[in-house]
Amino acid sequence: MTTSALEERFLTLCRCWRLPEPVREHRFDPVRKWRFDFCWLDAGIAVELEGGVWSRGRHTRGAGFTEDARKYNTAVISGYRVIRLTGEMLNECGPIMAWLKAQLLHCEEAA
């Protein structure tokens, strides 16, 4: 499995914030075979990293954007909380990483 620069940045942030290691490429829909970039299964939290947002890549054009919306809506209906992050957002990540840490600690305490 190859790791993109964006994924590596996110993993580095997770380690810096001392978050539990997320599951990578978790397949949450057996029919569509959709996967999350990162997921904490026990907490029901998924992170999707959105690359190429300024390059008119697949995820920002009509068909790709629509398919992503279907994926994210299915995930939410299935009980996941989906966090979508761009590379720019990782530069200002304090609030989201603090939220993730609090949610994951809460989940660990409840277990």
pTM of the model: 0.84
pLDDT of 55 over the 60 cut: no
- Per DSSP, which regions of the chain are E strands? 23-29, 34-40, 45-50, 81-86
Q: Which residue has the higher pLDDT, 56 or 11?
A: 11
d(CA 12, CA 14): 5
How far is C-alpha 110 from the chain's CA centre?
22
Q: Characterise 81 by phi-psi region: left (phi > 0), alpha (psi -120 to 50), beta (else).
A: beta
Domain 5-106 has CATH 3.40.960.10: yes
Averaged pLDDT for residues 34-43: 95
What pLDDT, on a 0 to 100 scale, did the predictor assign at position 105?
86
Q: How confident is the model at residue 87 (pLDDT cuts 50, 70, 90)?
A: confident
pLDDT of 45 over the 90 cut: yes
